[in-house]
Amino acid sequence: MLTQAPKGTQDMLPQAAHRWQRIEQSMRDVCALAGYREIRTPIFEHTELFQRGVGDTTDVVQKEMYTFEDKGNRSITLKPEGTAGAVRAFIEAHLFAEALPCKLFYITPCFRYEKPQSGRLRQFHQNGIEVFGAKDASVDAEIIALALKVLRANGIDGLRLTINSIGCPACRKAYLEKLRAYLQPKLPTLCKTCQERFDRNPMRILDCKEDADKLTDAPAMLDNLCEDCASHFEKLQDYLKALGIGYEIDARIVRGLDYYTKTVFEIITDTPDGTPLTVCGGGRYDGLVEELGGPATPGIGWGMGIERMIMVQDMRGIAPEAPEALDAFVVTMGDEARLAGVKLVDRLREKGVKADLDHAARSMKAQFKFAGKLGVRKVIVIAGDELEKGVVKLRDMEKSEEKEVAMDEILEAFE
């Protein structure tokens, strides 16, 4: 057990680090161009934050949170998603008093206790965006466009955008009465999970994959929107068309968290066997800031799983090329040469050249062999004879060519 990672977790090994770094950098680049600033919130929060923010009727809160008591007998939970912590920070730091909208992004680990499966782990990592203080549907379209750009920057295309509106508390109340009336006679035939959701959150029943065929004629929230919600949804479609973004309306998208209002969306791609896979999801949460103790402030955001992005890349044979670990490796023979080698490596690094030398007291032959395993293209050789003449030998490992270079000119070979 000591040498096995806990179930539902995985290591990011050095040979895969460049893939993660590329995804993270694309997120930073896309967000920077749109004026989004990075936020980092704690890995754990007070449990009440998620109970009130995510919703105590959700599967996340009821079944999937890692919750424990700390030594001060406080209930603490590892963050299952990124929005609640960002809202808490927005309120605590009084960011609402700054110029709005406040545009934020994050790259964060999250934790959910659920059955590990492909693309779904107990510790996973998310790219996420949150915008506070923007009520116009133009920002809904903006964050969708940014999500598409991040995915495409990482070779993930063939994307389908599906959108829906789940209304606001005002129009949803009347709709839920209609929905319960429709579901009541069907309840005995529905799965146990749906039966449990009937009183707590009946809209989540529409999202059930097991009972979907039994609910094809269920009333749709889209047909019961108030004037404000209907207008917002129409404007979202106008903005998406203006941006040239195709979309489908899917009345069954409700998302799994209680805080959503109005716009909800998913970005879907197909796996090689034709199975649809959601790679990004999000929506509006116009009442969440107020629910958690802040001033009434509209909000919207999305989350995108990094492990799932890598899984899709693997399915499609997308393998971003790893950068070279080193530009140069210094081979030395003898104590004096080694001292000179240490100084040279330090000078190379100061000039931005990725350089290293042997730290395992290998023979000269073994040092060359080691450099070959590292895939280093240029090897600098320092030995007794070279030291006396003030030169080094520069070997091109690919061309198998070697030349003498003056010690004080070697840096020029890497410019």
Does residue 384 lie within any of the structural domains? yes
Residues 333 and 310 in one domain: no
CATH number at residue 260: 3.30.930.10
Chain-centre distance for alpha carbon 43: 15
Does residue 255 lie within any of the structural domains? yes
Residues 386 and 270 in one domain: no
Residue 166: CB partners within 8 Å, gap ≥ 6?
Answer: 172, 203, 221, 253, 254, 255, 260, 261, 262, 264, 283
Does residue 75 lie within any of the structural domains? yes
Residues 308 and 347 in one domain: no
CB burial of residue 115 (10 Å; 0-12, 13-18, 19+): exposed
Pairing of strands 75-78, 67-69: antiparallel
Residues 235 and 335 in one domain: no
- Total-model pTM: 0.91
Number of domains in the chain: 2
Does residue 52 lie within any of the structural domains? yes
Domain extent, residue 350, equals 328-414
Residues 354 and 376 in one domain: yes
Residues 64 and 95 in one domain: yes
Write down the residue that tokens 């934790």 correspond to. Answer: 111
Residues 105 and 235 in one domain: yes
Nearest residue to 65 via CA among 42, 89, 48:
48
Does residue 257 lie within any of the structural domains? yes
Q: For residue 308, what is the DSSP state?
A: H
Cα separation of 399 and 395, whole Å? 9
State residue 59's pLDDT score: 67
State residue 209's pLDDT score: 75
| Positions of the chain with pLDDT lower than 70, given as ranges | 1, 55-59, 118-119, 256-257
Does residue 211 lie within any of the structural domains? no
Residues 367 and 309 in one domain: no
Does residue 208 lie within any of the structural domains? no
Residue 230: CB partners within 8 Å, gap ≥ 6?
Answer: 165
The percent of the chain in helix, strand and coil, each rounded to the nearest 5, is 45, 20, 35
Pairing of strands 328-332, 378-382: parallel
Residues 308 and 345 in one domain: no
Residues 50 and 125 in one domain: yes
CATH number at residue 381: 3.40.50.800
Residues 236 and 353 in one domain: no
Q: What is the pLDDT of residues 223-241, one digit of tens each?
A: 999 999 999 999 999 999 9
Does residue 198 lie within any of the structural domains? no
Alpha helices in 93-248 (DSSP H): 137-153, 169-183, 192-200, 227-242
Quick one: CA torsion of 300, 306, 312, 314, rounded to 10 degrees? 170
Residues 373 and 349 in one domain: yes
Domain boundary among 315, 341, 365: 315
Domain boundary among 315, 342, 359: 315
